[in-house]
Amino acid sequence: MATSGGSFASPIPNDPVHSVRRFNRFYTRQIGVLQEHLLHSQFSLTEVRVLYELAHRKQLTAGELCQDLGLDPGYLSRMLQNFLSHGWITTAPSRQDRRKVFLALTAKGRKVLAPLEQRSSDEVSAILSRLSPVQQGKLLSAIHDVESVLTLSQQVSAPYVLRPHRPGDMGWVVQRHGALYWQEYGYDERFEALVAGIVAEFIEKLDPARERCWIAEKDGENVGSVFLVKKSQSVAKLRLLLVEPSARGLGIGKRLVAECIRFAREARYKKIMLWTQSELAAARHLYQSAGFELVAKEKHRSWRRKDLIAEIWELKF
Partner DNA sequence: CCAGATTAGTTGACTCAGTCAACTAATTTG
Partner DNA sequence: CAAATTAGTTGACTGAGTCAACTAATCTGG
Q: Which residues contact DNA (rule: CB under 7 A)?
A: 44-46, 61-64, 66, 71-78, 80-81, 96-101, 167
Select from 232, 311, 213, 316 the least CA-distant residue to 272.
316
Work out how close the CB of 49 gets to a copy of itself at its nearest, in angstroms, rounded to a whole number: 9
Q: Does 11 bind a copy of itself (CB under 8 A)?
A: no
Taking the least distance from each CB to DNA, the nearer of 96 and 129 is 96
Work out how close the CB of 224 gets to DNA at its nearest, in angstroms, rounded to a whole number: 21
CA-CA distance, 164 to 214, in Å (whole number)? 5
CA angle 99, 100, 104 (to 5 degrees): 150
Q: At what angle do helices 16-39 and 45-56 cross, to 10 degrees?
A: 90
Q: Where are the alpha helices (DSSP H) in 42-168?
A: 45-56, 62-69, 73-86, 107-129, 133-156
Work out how close the CB of 22 gets to a copy of itself at its nearest, in angstroms, rounded to a whole number: 8
| Cβ(227)–Cβ(202) below 8 Å | yes
Q: Does 26 bind a copy of itself (CB under 8 A)?
A: yes
Taking the least distance from each CB to a copy of itself, the nearer of 3 and 85 is 3
Work out how close the CB of 110 gets to a copy of itself at its nearest, in angstroms, rounded to a whole number: 17
Site map for a copy of itself, 39-78, x if CB under 8 A? -----------------------------x----------
H or E segment and range at residue 296: strand 293-302
Task: Tell me which of DNA, a copy of itself, none is bound by residue 62, counting a contact when its beta carbon lies within the kind-specific cut-off of 5 to 8 angstroms.
Answer: DNA
